[in-house]
Structure 1
């Protein structure tokens, strides 16, 4: 074969590889806070039939873990917030890992999220780092540290001065809370999990944020070089991390979504636009981290009718409880 043909083939291989890598950036969060949802096995089948290769679950539900066996779906497994205190005991943490990780060797665990959006002012926040350390030690003892990374999921409200994004900095209370966690993540080569919701930023600041900027439909950049709110929020967190000296810490977007009902700008049309554009957008990168695909988990698989709080909380599903798609999305 001549060199020209060989070069063409290698270029094609490179193109296909990059497309596969980019397309594989999106997962979907699977919450079960509804009284009308399919069985766990039906849900796993739905992921597989739609080419969804990543999942986040919010507790170690044994039926879900059983259904995930052999599926090749990569998993974020949460430690629920009400379990954090118990896992500050090393023996309890080891038992947790043995029961929920080691017992499911055919499940592709990727991250363990030790707590979700725990506020720094909450007394439970002091339990996160000790629980992470104990879970990490148990993962190390099981020789799984190269496969599974231990982290925690935060909300973007911990960052202030977020416009322009380069000015982003953790609030004083958040900084004291997050700095030792960030040091732990850097030491163990783990990413920080961040829940990113342009919807809430838009809904609370409609006078200064356009719907186009929030939905990825704005034409052209704004005065600080951004075309969409998602990138601006994400880069403000990166800027805050850099101010803590964590310049190379990676972020995984562990939740992002838009409600289809229940509040301002919450419609099927807007939500469908957001999810479709988000899936396409995260194949690339942000202004601060260009050309770096953003591992992102859509929130959520289903509407959850038992959710408390604002009415919008019940309407984030990309599928209906009868398993029909709410939107025409291509996950893979």
Structure 2
């Protein structure tokens, strides 16, 4: 009898492990296109592909309506141009009432107060105050156990990234990030980080191999790393430790690879990257081996109205007609 119970226990824990691994992947939804499916069709596509998490960059009520009762976990974004207004506590309360409390049957897990705000920018002065006000409004609504408030950074804030253990925020970023990390620590919130091996590789091809960026390198390098994604992520963890954030978890709020428009941007490379990342996210990094790594792939669709370099319009996992670009499974 005890051996049967033991076997059942092993089976249950392995199923749970598979489930958490499968559930670690989300996909970012951006709407910068004039040829994209309806909001309801988008949510239906997430469901049909078994994608259990979505990142929204703004509180679009059309997509929030479509997400009602879907059980899809949501990162809800506060756009950078709204940050200044949310330094007013009443405005933050109104925002939470309108976009969070009014959608009680939408599974909002994180609120990202700003995305890739740079320390020298006009918005930088508003981030901490907006974070605090949104947090107060969430607590007043008694949702603090359910929703965590954070902000999303990019890796330009890291001044030193190699070896990963020596990772540190740059001098210009540390004054900006330190009080934000203190906020995250005191509220038990993760840091959201946009992690792109693609851009690191393109910017430093003389010392970074394509195989290292695509998770296909055999064996580890001289500092014990087999892929660039882990090295970048662990450099952010090391930087957090140096500013009092040893216990702050990182949610990878964006990671992707373009299929055309620039160096190493091809369907083959992108398929390799996304497929390997989905598999890799089930585990951990050398510095944080206990996974899964909460990861959001960028992005759901090619967005033909995105500004910037040509590659920016080719990060979609799906084409605007909802056909899948790559042979990958999300769960």
What TM bracket, shorter-length normalisation?
A: over 0.9
Superimposed CA distance per residue, residues 86-141 of structure 1 (whole angstroms, 9 cap, x where no aligned partner):
00001111000000000011100000000000110002101001001000010011
Aligned length: 331
User: What's 1:7 paired with?
Assistant: 6
User: What's 1:67 paired with?
Assistant: 66
The Cα shift of 1:292 comes to 2.0
The Cα shift of 1:329 comes to 1.4
Q: What secondary structure, in the 3-state scheme, does the structure 1 residue paired with 2:103 have?
A: coil
Structure 1 runs (4+) deviating above 4 angstroms are none
Mapping 1:135-174, distance limit 5 Å = 135-174=134-173
Q: What secondary structure, in the 3-state scheme, does the structure 2 residue paired with 1:254 have?
A: strand
Deviates more, 1:270-279 or 1:156-165: 156-165
User: What's 1:100 paired with?
Assistant: 99
User: What's 2:186 paired with?
Assistant: 187
Q: Distance in 2 between matches of 1:213 and 1:242?
A: 25
Q: Distance in 1 between matches of 2:281 and 2:93?
A: 35
User: What's 1:118 paired with?
Assistant: 117
Q: Distance in 2 between matches of 1:102 and 1:41?
A: 21
Q: Which runs of 5+ in 1 are unaligned?
A: none
User: What's 2:235 paired with?
Assistant: 236
Q: Distance in 2 between matches of 1:312 and 1:273?
A: 17
Q: Distance in 2 between matches of 1:301 and 1:12?
A: 34
Q: What secondary structure, in the 3-state scheme, does the structure 2 residue paired with 1:297 have?
A: strand
Superimposed CA distance per residue, residues 173-229 of structure 1 (whole angstroms, 9 cap, x where no aligned partner):
110000000000010000000000000000010111000000000000000000000
Q: Distance in 2 between matches of 1:230 and 1:163?
A: 13
The Cα shift of 1:248 comes to 1.0
CA RMSD of aligned residues (A): 0.5
Q: Which runs of 5+ in 2 are unaligned?
A: none
The Cα shift of 1:291 comes to 2.6
Deviates more, 1:47-56 or 1:156-165: 156-165
TM-score (norm 1): 0.99
Mapping 1:13-32, distance limit 5 Å = 13-32=12-31
Q: Distance in 2 between matches of 1:221 and 1:268?
A: 26
